[in-house]
Every structure is written in C-alpha cells, then in structure tokens.
Amino acid sequence: MTFEQIVDELEKTLPDKPLEERIEKINEVCEDHVKRTGKKPDSYQLTRLSNLILLEDLKNKDSHKTQKSEYPFHSAPQAKRRRKKEFVTQDDTLDFMNFKKKAKLSTAPPKDNH
C-alpha cells in the first residue's frame, strides 16, 4: 500500500475519532513511512494529514472565531471571504467620504441648539 493510499484510508476513518487518537495514528503512520523508506512523506500528503488534525478548526464556520479562539486561523475560503468583506468596507468608506466632499458636508458633530 502506498503512503497516498494510507492517507486516503485515514481520511475515511479518522474524522470520527477524537483529536488525540487522530494525532497518535498520524504520528504512527508517518514514523512507519520514514522507517520503511528513509524519507519524509511528501508535502502534499503531510498537508492532508495536518488537515485531519485541524479538522474542527477548519470546519468551524463561526465568523467570530478569531475573537473566541486562543490560536485562531482561517481556512482558505474563510480568508478569501474576510478579504472580500474588508475590501468592500474600504470601498464603502471611500465612497461616503467622496460623497461628503462633493456635497460639502461638515465632518463636525451637529450643534446642540437648546
């Protein structure tokens, strides 16, 4: 069985297992591969294995997870969505500022006429 096939099998069986069990099995498989071949697994297979370890974090769709997590990170789609939101917000702010300049609106707070 090739290392890729082993990783395929792990992706089918490990997602239901607790984190510690997943880590233990992945370490075992990687160490066995190094003993058999004398080489580290290729980076693509290691990425697939790391995704198994980070499964809960990658599946967490909470938009506020960066505030609630000790070591937060975004999956690729989450990072893309965040960049898009930040870009849109910047555009909206610039549009409003340009509108105020053209309309010659004051930036000072309104005066209290009481």
In angstroms, rounded to a whole number, what is the distance separating the alpha carbons of residues 29 and 82? 35
What would the pLDDT profile of 31-55 be if each residue is shown by its tens digit?
A: 999 999 999 999 999 999 999 998 8
Mean pLDDT within 68-74? 68
The pLDDT value given to residue 5: 96
In angstroms, rounded to a whole number, what is the distance separating the alpha carbons of residues 101 and 96? 9
Residue 56 confidence class, pLDDT cut points 50, 70, 90: confident
Residue 81 confidence class, pLDDT cut points 50, 70, 90: confident
Mean pLDDT within 78-90? 68
pTM of the predicted model over 0.75:
no
The better pLDDT of the pair 71, 84 is held by: 84
- pLDDT-above-70 percentage for the chain: 63
Planar angle of CA 58, 59, 60, nearest 5 degrees:
95
pLDDT at 16 over 80: yes
CB 97 within 8 A of CB 89: no
In angstroms, rounded to a whole number, what is the distance separating the alpha carbons of residues 65 and 61? 8
Q: Domain coordinates of the chain in residue numbers?
A: 1-61, 72-102
